[in-house]
Amino acid sequence: HLSSSSETFKPKRVMVIGGDGYCGWATALHLSNKGYEVAILDNLVRRHIDEQLGIHSLTPISSIHVRAKRWAQLTNKHIPLFIGDICDFEFLSEAFKAFEPEAVVHFGEQRSAPYSMIDRGRAVYTQHNNVIGTLNALFAIKEFSEGQCHLVKLGTMGEYGTPNIDIEEGYITITHNGRTDTLPYPKQASSFYHLSKVHDSHNIAFACKAWGLRATDLNQGVVYGVRTEETAMHEELCNRLDYDGVFGTALNRFCVQAAVGHPLTVYGKGGQTRGYLDIRDTVQCVELAIANPAKSSEFRVFNQFTEQFSVNDLARLVTIAGKKAGLEVQTTSVPNPRVEAEEHYYNAKHTKLMELGLEPHLLSDSLLDSLLNFAMQYKDRVDMSQIMPAVSWKAISAKPKAAPT
Ligand code: NAD
Ligand code: USQ
Protein backbone atom coordinates (compact mmCIF):
# COMPACT_ATOMS: atom_id res chain seq x y z
CA HIS A 1 0.00 0.00 0.00
CA LEU A 2 1.30 3.44 -0.89
CA SER A 3 1.77 5.85 1.97
CA SER A 4 1.39 9.59 1.64
CA SER A 5 4.76 10.61 3.04
CA SER A 6 7.59 11.02 0.58
CA GLU A 7 10.03 9.17 2.90
CA THR A 8 8.25 5.84 2.67
CA PHE A 9 6.89 6.04 -0.88
CA LYS A 10 9.57 4.64 -3.19
CA PRO A 11 8.08 3.98 -6.61
CA LYS A 12 9.44 1.13 -8.73
CA ARG A 13 7.17 1.05 -11.79
CA VAL A 14 7.61 4.12 -13.99
CA MET A 15 5.64 4.83 -17.15
CA VAL A 16 7.54 7.11 -19.55
CA ILE A 17 5.06 8.95 -21.76
CA GLY A 18 6.87 10.24 -24.86
CA GLY A 19 9.56 7.60 -24.33
CA ASP A 20 10.46 7.44 -28.04
CA GLY A 21 11.56 11.10 -28.09
CA TYR A 22 14.85 12.88 -27.41
CA CYS A 23 14.54 13.34 -23.63
CA GLY A 24 12.15 10.42 -23.09
CA TRP A 25 14.26 7.72 -24.76
CA ALA A 26 17.41 8.68 -22.84
CA THR A 27 15.41 8.80 -19.58
CA ALA A 28 13.62 5.48 -20.12
CA LEU A 29 16.93 3.66 -20.61
CA HIS A 30 18.55 5.46 -17.68
CA LEU A 31 15.72 4.51 -15.31
CA SER A 32 15.71 0.93 -16.60
CA ASN A 33 19.48 0.76 -16.02
CA LYS A 34 18.99 2.06 -12.47
CA GLY A 35 16.65 -0.82 -11.63
CA TYR A 36 13.24 0.78 -12.16
CA GLU A 37 10.60 -1.22 -14.02
CA VAL A 38 10.00 0.98 -17.05
CA ALA A 39 7.26 1.04 -19.68
CA ILE A 40 7.21 3.38 -22.68
CA LEU A 41 4.00 4.93 -23.94
CA ASP A 42 4.26 6.89 -27.21
CA ASN A 43 2.08 7.38 -30.30
CA LEU A 44 5.14 7.98 -32.51
CA VAL A 45 3.62 11.27 -33.73
CA ARG A 46 7.05 12.92 -33.68
CA ARG A 47 8.33 10.51 -36.34
CA HIS A 48 5.19 11.28 -38.35
CA ILE A 49 5.69 15.07 -38.04
CA ASP A 50 9.29 14.67 -39.27
CA GLU A 51 7.97 12.90 -42.37
CA GLN A 52 5.33 15.55 -42.97
CA LEU A 53 7.85 18.38 -42.75
CA GLY A 54 10.54 16.48 -44.65
CA ILE A 55 13.04 16.73 -41.78
CA HIS A 56 15.09 14.09 -40.01
CA SER A 57 17.37 13.58 -37.04
CA LEU A 58 21.10 14.12 -37.67
CA THR A 59 21.61 10.62 -36.32
CA PRO A 60 19.92 7.58 -37.83
CA ILE A 61 17.38 6.24 -35.31
CA SER A 62 15.98 2.73 -35.09
CA SER A 63 12.28 2.05 -34.65
CA ILE A 64 11.03 1.91 -31.07
CA HIS A 65 10.55 -1.85 -31.44
CA VAL A 66 14.14 -2.44 -32.54
CA ARG A 67 15.34 -0.14 -29.76
CA ALA A 68 13.45 -2.03 -27.04
CA LYS A 69 14.56 -5.44 -28.39
CA ARG A 70 18.19 -4.37 -28.50
CA TRP A 71 17.99 -3.03 -24.93
CA ALA A 72 16.50 -6.32 -23.71
CA GLN A 73 19.17 -8.31 -25.54
CA LEU A 74 21.99 -6.21 -24.05
CA THR A 75 20.74 -5.88 -20.49
CA ASN A 76 18.07 -8.52 -19.98
CA LYS A 77 15.70 -5.71 -19.00
CA HIS A 78 12.32 -5.73 -20.69
CA ILE A 79 10.60 -2.41 -21.51
CA PRO A 80 6.95 -3.00 -22.47
CA LEU A 81 5.66 -0.69 -25.22
CA PHE A 82 2.24 0.94 -25.26
CA ILE A 83 1.87 2.48 -28.70
CA GLY A 84 -0.99 4.96 -28.70
CA ASP A 85 -2.17 8.46 -27.96
CA ILE A 86 -2.66 9.84 -24.42
CA CYS A 87 -5.43 12.00 -25.83
CA ASP A 88 -7.33 8.70 -26.29
CA PHE A 89 -8.51 8.12 -22.71
CA GLU A 90 -9.61 4.54 -23.32
CA PHE A 91 -6.16 3.59 -24.60
CA LEU A 92 -4.49 5.40 -21.69
CA SER A 93 -6.80 3.66 -19.19
CA GLU A 94 -5.92 0.22 -20.55
CA ALA A 95 -2.19 1.04 -20.37
CA PHE A 96 -2.58 2.23 -16.76
CA LYS A 97 -4.53 -0.86 -15.73
CA ALA A 98 -2.01 -3.17 -17.41
CA PHE A 99 1.16 -1.56 -16.04
CA GLU A 100 -0.05 0.03 -12.76
CA PRO A 101 2.59 2.78 -12.70
CA GLU A 102 3.67 4.28 -9.37
CA ALA A 103 5.24 7.21 -11.20
CA VAL A 104 4.47 8.68 -14.60
CA VAL A 105 7.05 10.84 -16.37
CA HIS A 106 5.26 12.87 -18.98
CA PHE A 107 7.40 13.96 -21.95
CA GLY A 108 4.69 13.25 -24.54
CA GLU A 109 3.90 16.64 -25.96
CA GLN A 110 4.40 18.67 -29.14
CA ARG A 111 7.48 20.53 -27.97
CA SER A 112 8.53 22.89 -30.76
CA ALA A 113 7.73 26.59 -30.42
CA PRO A 114 8.18 27.20 -34.19
CA TYR A 115 5.91 24.22 -35.03
CA SER A 116 3.16 25.76 -32.89
CA MET A 117 3.55 29.04 -34.81
CA ILE A 118 3.31 27.63 -38.39
CA ASP A 119 -0.44 28.09 -38.81
CA ARG A 120 -3.72 27.97 -36.87
CA GLY A 121 -4.03 24.21 -37.30
CA ARG A 122 -0.62 23.55 -35.74
CA ALA A 123 -1.30 26.04 -32.91
CA VAL A 124 -4.59 24.29 -32.12
CA TYR A 125 -3.01 20.83 -32.45
CA THR A 126 -0.23 21.80 -30.04
CA GLN A 127 -2.54 23.11 -27.35
CA HIS A 128 -5.09 20.31 -27.78
CA ASN A 129 -2.45 17.56 -27.75
CA ASN A 130 -0.59 18.99 -24.78
CA VAL A 131 -3.43 20.26 -22.59
CA ILE A 132 -5.84 17.36 -23.18
CA GLY A 133 -3.06 14.77 -22.95
CA THR A 134 -2.01 16.11 -19.55
CA LEU A 135 -5.64 16.31 -18.36
CA ASN A 136 -6.09 12.66 -19.34
CA ALA A 137 -2.94 11.71 -17.41
CA LEU A 138 -4.35 13.51 -14.34
CA PHE A 139 -7.68 11.67 -14.66
CA ALA A 140 -5.93 8.32 -15.15
CA ILE A 141 -3.90 8.88 -11.98
CA LYS A 142 -7.01 9.81 -10.01
CA GLU A 143 -9.05 6.92 -11.39
CA PHE A 144 -6.58 4.01 -11.40
CA SER A 145 -4.07 4.69 -8.63
CA GLU A 146 -6.32 6.37 -6.09
CA GLY A 147 -4.30 9.52 -6.69
CA GLN A 148 -1.09 7.95 -5.37
CA CYS A 149 0.94 7.70 -8.58
CA HIS A 150 3.44 10.60 -8.76
CA LEU A 151 3.18 12.73 -11.90
CA VAL A 152 6.56 14.07 -13.04
CA LYS A 153 5.67 16.52 -15.78
CA LEU A 154 8.05 18.23 -18.18
CA GLY A 155 7.35 21.94 -18.16
CA THR A 156 9.61 24.64 -19.49
CA MET A 157 11.60 27.63 -18.26
CA GLY A 158 9.82 29.47 -21.09
CA GLU A 159 6.68 29.55 -18.94
CA TYR A 160 8.22 32.47 -17.03
CA GLY A 161 9.32 34.50 -20.04
CA THR A 162 11.99 37.12 -19.36
CA PRO A 163 10.78 39.32 -16.47
CA ASN A 164 12.95 42.16 -15.22
CA ILE A 165 13.26 40.51 -11.77
CA ASP A 166 14.82 37.24 -10.56
CA ILE A 167 12.90 34.10 -11.53
CA GLU A 168 11.99 31.90 -8.54
CA GLU A 169 11.15 28.18 -8.60
CA GLY A 170 7.43 28.17 -9.26
CA TYR A 171 6.29 30.50 -6.50
CA ILE A 172 7.00 34.05 -5.36
CA THR A 173 6.22 35.69 -2.03
CA ILE A 174 4.59 39.07 -2.56
CA THR A 175 3.57 41.77 -0.10
CA HIS A 176 0.71 43.84 -1.47
CA ASN A 177 -1.13 46.59 0.41
CA GLY A 178 0.33 45.32 3.66
CA ARG A 179 -0.62 41.65 3.20
CA THR A 180 1.75 38.85 2.22
CA ASP A 181 1.14 35.63 0.26
CA THR A 182 3.13 33.04 -1.66
CA LEU A 183 1.67 32.86 -5.15
CA PRO A 184 2.40 31.12 -8.45
CA TYR A 185 5.22 33.00 -10.21
CA PRO A 186 3.80 35.14 -13.07
CA LYS A 187 3.81 33.42 -16.46
CA GLN A 188 4.63 35.25 -19.69
CA ALA A 189 5.16 32.59 -22.33
CA SER A 190 6.04 33.60 -25.88
CA SER A 191 4.66 30.95 -28.25
CA PHE A 192 1.50 28.84 -28.40
CA TYR A 193 3.73 25.90 -27.44
CA HIS A 194 5.19 27.59 -24.36
CA LEU A 195 1.66 28.71 -23.43
CA SER A 196 0.43 25.10 -23.57
CA LYS A 197 2.85 24.39 -20.71
CA VAL A 198 1.41 27.28 -18.69
CA HIS A 199 -2.09 25.86 -19.16
CA ASP A 200 -0.81 22.40 -18.11
CA SER A 201 0.75 23.83 -14.95
CA HIS A 202 -2.53 25.42 -13.92
CA ASN A 203 -4.47 22.20 -14.51
CA ILE A 204 -1.95 20.13 -12.55
CA ALA A 205 -1.88 22.59 -9.63
CA PHE A 206 -5.67 22.45 -9.47
CA ALA A 207 -5.75 18.62 -9.57
CA CYS A 208 -3.26 18.46 -6.69
CA LYS A 209 -5.37 20.85 -4.63
CA ALA A 210 -8.76 19.39 -5.50
CA TRP A 211 -7.97 15.65 -5.55
CA GLY A 212 -4.81 15.39 -3.45
CA LEU A 213 -2.61 14.27 -6.35
CA ARG A 214 1.18 14.52 -6.06
CA ALA A 215 3.01 16.23 -8.91
CA THR A 216 6.34 17.73 -9.85
CA ASP A 217 6.57 20.27 -12.67
CA LEU A 218 10.09 20.24 -14.11
CA ASN A 219 10.57 23.61 -15.75
CA GLN A 220 13.36 22.49 -18.01
CA GLY A 221 15.69 24.79 -19.92
CA VAL A 222 17.07 24.06 -23.40
CA VAL A 223 18.68 20.60 -23.59
CA TYR A 224 21.92 19.92 -25.49
CA GLY A 225 24.03 16.87 -26.24
CA VAL A 226 23.14 13.44 -27.50
CA ARG A 227 25.07 10.63 -25.86
CA THR A 228 24.11 9.22 -22.49
CA GLU A 229 25.68 6.19 -20.83
CA GLU A 230 22.89 3.91 -22.01
CA THR A 231 22.21 5.23 -25.54
CA ALA A 232 25.94 4.96 -26.28
CA MET A 233 25.87 1.21 -25.64
CA HIS A 234 24.80 0.26 -29.20
CA GLU A 235 24.11 2.09 -32.45
CA GLU A 236 20.52 0.83 -32.41
CA LEU A 237 20.05 2.69 -29.10
CA CYS A 238 21.33 5.97 -30.59
CA ASN A 239 19.22 9.00 -29.67
CA ARG A 240 17.80 11.56 -32.10
CA LEU A 241 19.51 14.91 -32.62
CA ASP A 242 17.40 17.64 -34.26
CA TYR A 243 19.18 20.40 -36.14
CA ASP A 244 16.46 21.78 -38.44
CA GLY A 245 14.83 25.21 -38.08
CA VAL A 246 11.64 23.81 -36.52
CA PHE A 247 12.77 21.19 -33.95
CA GLY A 248 16.49 21.94 -33.62
CA THR A 249 17.42 23.89 -30.47
CA ALA A 250 20.10 26.54 -30.13
CA LEU A 251 23.33 24.82 -29.05
CA ASN A 252 22.68 21.54 -30.88
CA ARG A 253 21.97 23.53 -34.04
CA PHE A 254 25.14 25.60 -33.69
CA CYS A 255 27.31 22.48 -33.39
CA VAL A 256 25.77 20.95 -36.53
CA GLN A 257 26.03 24.29 -38.37
CA ALA A 258 29.72 24.54 -37.46
CA ALA A 259 30.32 20.96 -38.64
CA VAL A 260 28.83 21.59 -42.10
CA GLY A 261 30.31 25.07 -42.57
CA HIS A 262 27.00 26.95 -42.27
CA PRO A 263 27.26 30.30 -40.44
CA LEU A 264 25.82 30.13 -36.92
CA THR A 265 22.27 31.51 -37.03
CA VAL A 266 22.03 34.10 -34.25
CA TYR A 267 18.47 35.50 -34.27
CA GLY A 268 18.40 39.28 -33.90
CA LYS A 269 20.81 40.83 -31.40
CA GLY A 270 21.61 37.48 -29.75
CA GLY A 271 21.18 38.71 -26.18
CA GLN A 272 18.36 36.17 -25.61
CA THR A 273 19.41 34.38 -22.43
CA ARG A 274 18.04 31.00 -21.35
CA GLY A 275 18.85 28.18 -18.95
CA TYR A 276 20.62 25.19 -20.56
CA LEU A 277 21.46 21.63 -19.49
CA ASP A 278 23.23 18.54 -20.77
CA ILE A 279 20.93 15.62 -21.65
CA ARG A 280 22.93 13.55 -19.12
CA ASP A 281 21.53 15.93 -16.49
CA THR A 282 17.96 15.66 -17.84
CA VAL A 283 17.99 11.94 -17.04
CA GLN A 284 19.59 12.56 -13.63
CA CYS A 285 17.03 15.25 -12.70
CA VAL A 286 14.07 13.05 -13.61
CA GLU A 287 15.53 10.18 -11.59
CA LEU A 288 15.96 12.52 -8.59
CA ALA A 289 12.36 13.74 -8.87
CA ILE A 290 11.08 10.15 -8.98
CA ALA A 291 13.26 8.94 -6.11
CA ASN A 292 12.07 11.87 -3.93
CA PRO A 293 8.36 12.10 -4.73
CA ALA A 294 6.08 15.03 -4.02
CA LYS A 295 3.73 14.58 -1.08
CA SER A 296 -0.01 14.06 -1.49
CA SER A 297 -1.68 17.35 -2.53
CA GLU A 298 1.73 18.88 -3.26
CA PHE A 299 2.41 20.67 -6.56
CA ARG A 300 6.19 21.05 -6.63
CA VAL A 301 8.06 23.11 -9.19
CA PHE A 302 11.76 22.66 -9.96
CA ASN A 303 13.70 24.81 -12.40
CA GLN A 304 15.68 22.20 -14.34
CA PHE A 305 18.80 23.72 -15.89
CA THR A 306 22.42 24.08 -14.84
CA GLU A 307 23.81 27.22 -16.55
CA GLN A 308 22.57 30.36 -18.29
CA PHE A 309 23.88 31.47 -21.68
CA SER A 310 22.91 34.08 -24.23
CA VAL A 311 22.76 33.08 -27.89
CA ASN A 312 25.88 35.21 -28.46
CA ASP A 313 27.69 33.31 -25.64
CA LEU A 314 26.87 30.01 -27.38
CA ALA A 315 28.06 31.29 -30.76
CA ARG A 316 31.36 32.39 -29.17
CA LEU A 317 31.89 29.03 -27.44
CA VAL A 318 31.15 27.04 -30.60
CA THR A 319 33.47 29.30 -32.64
CA ILE A 320 36.35 28.63 -30.24
CA ALA A 321 35.69 24.87 -30.10
CA GLY A 322 35.38 24.82 -33.91
CA LYS A 323 38.74 26.48 -34.34
CA LYS A 324 40.34 23.76 -32.21
CA ALA A 325 38.74 21.14 -34.45
CA GLY A 326 40.15 22.88 -37.53
CA LEU A 327 36.83 24.44 -38.59
CA GLU A 328 36.38 27.99 -39.88
CA VAL A 329 33.23 29.08 -38.01
CA GLN A 330 31.30 32.18 -39.12
CA THR A 331 28.28 33.76 -37.45
CA THR A 332 25.41 35.48 -39.21
CA SER A 333 22.72 37.69 -37.71
CA VAL A 334 19.37 36.41 -38.95
CA PRO A 335 16.34 38.76 -38.72
CA ASN A 336 14.56 37.37 -35.68
CA PRO A 337 11.62 35.19 -36.81
CA ARG A 338 10.25 35.29 -33.24
CA VAL A 339 8.77 38.02 -31.10
CA GLU A 340 11.00 38.06 -27.99
CA ALA A 341 13.27 40.39 -26.03
CA GLU A 342 16.78 40.40 -27.55
CA GLU A 343 18.44 42.24 -24.65
CA HIS A 344 17.10 41.62 -21.19
CA TYR A 345 17.77 40.83 -17.54
CA TYR A 346 17.82 37.11 -16.72
CA ASN A 347 18.57 35.49 -13.39
CA ALA A 348 16.70 32.27 -12.63
CA LYS A 349 16.99 30.21 -9.43
CA HIS A 350 17.81 26.52 -9.83
CA THR A 351 18.69 25.18 -6.41
CA LYS A 352 16.01 22.58 -5.64
CA LEU A 353 17.44 19.80 -7.82
CA MET A 354 20.94 20.60 -6.55
CA GLU A 355 19.59 20.15 -3.01
CA LEU A 356 18.32 16.70 -4.01
CA GLY A 357 21.83 15.76 -5.16
CA LEU A 358 22.13 16.76 -8.83
CA GLU A 359 25.77 16.66 -9.95
CA PRO A 360 25.75 18.84 -13.06
CA HIS A 361 27.73 18.21 -16.23
CA LEU A 362 28.61 21.83 -16.98
CA LEU A 363 29.25 22.84 -20.58
CA SER A 364 32.95 22.26 -20.92
CA ASP A 365 35.37 22.37 -23.80
CA SER A 366 35.43 18.59 -23.88
CA LEU A 367 31.66 18.26 -24.28
CA LEU A 368 31.63 20.84 -27.06
CA ASP A 369 34.53 19.03 -28.73
CA SER A 370 32.72 15.71 -28.59
CA LEU A 371 29.39 17.19 -29.76
CA LEU A 372 31.20 18.86 -32.66
CA ASN A 373 32.99 15.63 -33.51
CA PHE A 374 29.70 13.80 -33.36
CA ALA A 375 28.14 16.33 -35.73
CA MET A 376 31.13 16.04 -38.09
CA GLN A 377 30.75 12.25 -38.11
CA TYR A 378 27.16 12.54 -39.41
CA LYS A 379 27.53 15.72 -41.49
CA ASP A 380 26.74 13.98 -44.78
CA ARG A 381 23.22 13.42 -43.49
CA VAL A 382 22.57 17.15 -43.07
CA ASP A 383 19.97 18.70 -45.35
CA MET A 384 21.32 22.25 -45.75
CA SER A 385 17.90 23.53 -46.88
CA GLN A 386 16.45 22.78 -43.42
CA ILE A 387 18.85 24.96 -41.45
CA MET A 388 17.49 28.49 -41.84
CA PRO A 389 14.39 29.36 -39.79
CA ALA A 390 11.22 29.60 -41.88
CA VAL A 391 8.49 30.11 -39.28
CA SER A 392 7.58 33.70 -38.48
CA TRP A 393 5.67 34.56 -35.28
CA LYS A 394 4.08 37.52 -37.06
CA ALA A 395 3.22 35.78 -40.33
CA ILE A 396 1.17 32.97 -38.72
CA SER A 397 -2.30 32.84 -40.22
CA ALA A 398 -5.46 30.77 -40.19
CA LYS A 399 -4.67 29.47 -43.68
CA PRO A 400 -3.09 25.98 -43.56
CA LYS A 401 0.56 25.86 -44.66
CA ALA A 402 1.78 22.73 -46.42
CA ALA A 403 5.22 23.18 -44.83
CA PRO A 404 7.16 26.08 -43.35
CA THR A 405 8.87 27.58 -46.40
P1 NAD B 1 10.43 14.92 -28.74
O2 NAD B 1 9.56 15.51 -29.78
O3 NAD B 1 11.75 14.37 -29.13
O4 NAD B 1 9.63 13.77 -27.97
C5 NAD B 1 8.28 13.86 -27.60
C6 NAD B 1 7.69 12.46 -27.70
O7 NAD B 1 6.32 12.50 -27.27
C8 NAD B 1 7.68 11.94 -29.14
O9 NAD B 1 8.24 10.64 -29.20
C10 NAD B 1 6.20 11.94 -29.52
O11 NAD B 1 5.87 10.93 -30.46
C12 NAD B 1 5.52 11.76 -28.17
N13 NAD B 1 4.13 12.30 -28.12
C14 NAD B 1 3.72 13.54 -28.46
N15 NAD B 1 2.39 13.65 -28.29
C16 NAD B 1 1.95 12.45 -27.83
C17 NAD B 1 0.66 11.93 -27.49
N18 NAD B 1 -0.44 12.67 -27.60
N19 NAD B 1 0.58 10.66 -27.06
C20 NAD B 1 1.69 9.88 -26.95
N21 NAD B 1 2.93 10.32 -27.28
C22 NAD B 1 3.05 11.60 -27.70
O23 NAD B 1 10.61 16.03 -27.59
P24 NAD B 1 11.73 16.14 -26.43
O25 NAD B 1 12.74 17.10 -26.88
O26 NAD B 1 12.12 14.80 -25.99
O27 NAD B 1 10.88 16.83 -25.30
C28 NAD B 1 10.21 16.04 -24.32
C29 NAD B 1 9.53 16.93 -23.30
O30 NAD B 1 10.50 17.74 -22.65
C31 NAD B 1 8.51 17.89 -23.91
O32 NAD B 1 7.40 17.99 -23.04
C33 NAD B 1 9.25 19.19 -23.99
O34 NAD B 1 8.37 20.26 -23.91
C35 NAD B 1 10.16 19.12 -22.77
N36 NAD B 1 11.36 19.94 -22.93
C37 NAD B 1 12.26 19.68 -23.94
C38 NAD B 1 13.39 20.48 -24.07
C39 NAD B 1 14.40 20.28 -25.16
O40 NAD B 1 15.34 21.10 -25.26
N41 NAD B 1 14.32 19.24 -25.98
C42 NAD B 1 13.60 21.52 -23.17
C43 NAD B 1 12.68 21.76 -22.14
C44 NAD B 1 11.55 20.94 -22.05
N1 USQ C 1 17.83 30.88 -31.34
C2 USQ C 1 18.76 31.51 -32.16
N3 USQ C 1 19.23 30.82 -33.24
C4 USQ C 1 18.83 29.55 -33.53
C5 USQ C 1 17.89 28.91 -32.68
C6 USQ C 1 17.41 29.61 -31.61
O7 USQ C 1 19.15 32.66 -31.93
O8 USQ C 1 19.29 29.01 -34.54
C9 USQ C 1 17.33 31.59 -30.15
C10 USQ C 1 15.82 31.72 -30.09
O11 USQ C 1 15.37 32.87 -30.75
C12 USQ C 1 15.57 31.74 -28.59
C13 USQ C 1 16.68 30.88 -28.02
O14 USQ C 1 17.68 30.80 -29.03
O15 USQ C 1 15.71 33.02 -28.09
C16 USQ C 1 16.24 29.47 -27.65
O17 USQ C 1 15.61 28.88 -28.76
P18 USQ C 1 15.52 27.29 -28.94
O19 USQ C 1 14.92 26.99 -30.27
O20 USQ C 1 16.83 26.69 -28.61
O21 USQ C 1 14.55 26.90 -27.73
P22 USQ C 1 12.99 27.12 -27.51
O23 USQ C 1 12.26 27.51 -28.73
O24 USQ C 1 12.81 27.97 -26.30
O25 USQ C 1 12.49 25.63 -27.18
C26 USQ C 1 13.32 24.61 -26.64
C27 USQ C 1 12.56 23.31 -26.74
C28 USQ C 1 11.31 23.41 -25.89
C29 USQ C 1 11.67 23.81 -24.47
C30 USQ C 1 12.50 25.08 -24.42
C31 USQ C 1 13.07 25.37 -23.06
O32 USQ C 1 12.23 23.03 -28.09
O33 USQ C 1 10.62 22.17 -25.90
O34 USQ C 1 10.50 24.00 -23.72
O35 USQ C 1 13.65 24.90 -25.29
S36 USQ C 1 13.11 27.10 -22.70
O37 USQ C 1 13.83 27.78 -23.79
O38 USQ C 1 13.78 27.25 -21.45
O39 USQ C 1 11.74 27.55 -22.66
**Max CA pair span of the chain:** 64
* Minimum-distance ligand 1 atom for the alpha carbon of 106: 32
Average pLDDT over residues 211-215: 98
Sheet of strand 214-220: strand arrangement = 81-83, 37-42, 13-17, 103-106, 150-156, 214-220, 299-304
- Nearest residue to 350 via CA among 309, 293, 301: 301
Give the pLDDT of residue 405. Answer: 57
As a whole number of Å, the end-to-end CA separation of the chain is 55
193 is catalytic: yes
- Nearest residue to 404 via CA among 386, 393, 390, 387: 390
- What proportions of the chain, in percent to the nearest 5, are helix, strand and coil? 40, 20, 40
Average pLDDT over residues 101-114: 98
Judge contact between 311 and 272, C-beta under 8 A.
yes
Residue 107, ligand 1, Cβ within 6 A: yes
Give the type of residue at 175: T
Residue 53, ligand 1, Cβ within 6 A: no
Residue 324 has pLDDT above 60, yes or no: yes
Residue 29, ligand 1, Cβ within 6 A: no
Average pLDDT over residues 212-233: 97
Average pLDDT over residues 124-134: 98
- Nearest residue to 41 via CA among 114, 3, 92, 7: 92
Q: Whose CA is nearest to atom 5 of ligand 1?
A: 21
Alpha carbon of 250 to ligand 2 centroid (Å): 6
Which of 22, 36, 160, 193 is catalytic? The answer is 193
197 is catalytic: yes
Q: Whose CA is nearest to atom 3 of ligand 1?
A: 21
Average pLDDT over residues 130-148: 96
- Nearest residue to 136 via CA among 48, 43, 207: 207
What is the rounded average pLDDT for all residues in the chain? 96
Give the pLDDT of residue 1. Answer: 37
Q: For residues 228 and 279, what is the distance between their CA atoms, to the nearest angstrom? A: 7
Residue 254 has pLDDT above 60, yes or no: yes
- Which ligand places an atom closest to the C-alpha of 158? 2
Ligand 2: list residues with CB < 6 Å.
111-113, 156-158, 194, 221-222, 249-250, 253, 265-267, 272, 274-275, 311, 338, 340
Judge contact between 220 and 156, C-beta under 8 A.
yes
Alpha carbon of 177 to ligand 1 centroid (Å): 42
| Backbone dihedral region for residue 105 (phi beyond 0: left; psi -120 to 50: alpha; all else: beta) | beta
Residue 152 has pLDDT above 50, yes or no: yes
Is 181 strand, coil or helix? Answer: strand
User: What are the DSSP E strand ranges found in 115-190?
Assistant: 150-156, 171-176, 179-184
Give percent of the chain above pLDDT 90: 94
Alpha carbon of 183 to ligand 2 centroid (Å): 27
* Minimum-distance ligand 2 atom for the alpha carbon of 114: 23
- Nearest residue to 282 via CA among 214, 229, 342, 215: 229
Give the pLDDT of residue 3. Answer: 43
Average pLDDT over residues 66-75: 98
Ordered by where they begin, the domains of the chain are 13-386 (3.40.50.720)
Task: Please work out, in degrees rounded to the nearest 5, the angle formed at the alpha carbon of residue 196 by the alpha carbons of 47 and 201.
Answer: 120
Residue 216 has pLDDT above 70, yes or no: yes
Which of 125, 197, 276, 282 is catalytic? The answer is 197
Residue 9, ligand 1, Cβ within 6 A: no
pLDDT band, residue 4 (cuts 50/70/90): very low
Give the pLDDT of residue 146. Answer: 86
* Most ligand 1 atoms within 8 A of CB, residue of 46, 110, 303 to mutate: 46
Give the pLDDT of residue 402. Answer: 81
- Which ligand places an atom closest to the C-alpha of 264? 2
Give the pLDDT of residue 70. Answer: 98
Which of 27, 59, 156, 249 is catalytic? The answer is 156
* Minimum-distance ligand 2 atom for the alpha carbon of 159: 39
Residue 156 has pLDDT above 80, yes or no: yes
Residue 403 has pLDDT above 60, yes or no: yes
Q: Whose CA is nearest to atom 19 of ligand 2?
A: 249
Give the pLDDT of residue 8. Answer: 57
pLDDT band, residue 2 (cuts 50/70/90): very low
Query: Does this model's pTM top 0.95?
Result: yes
Q: For residues 18 and 236, what is the distance between their CA atoms, to the nearest angstrom? A: 18
- Nearest residue to 299 via CA among 147, 124, 114, 79: 147
Give the pLDDT of residue 9. Answer: 67
Average pLDDT over residues 215-236: 97
Give the pLDDT of residue 11. Answer: 83
Q: Whose CA is nearest to atom 29 of ligand 1?
A: 107
- Nearest residue to 21 via CA among 54, 53, 45: 45
Average pLDDT over residues 59-85: 98
pLDDT digits (tens, 9 = 90+) for 165-178: 999 999 999 999 99
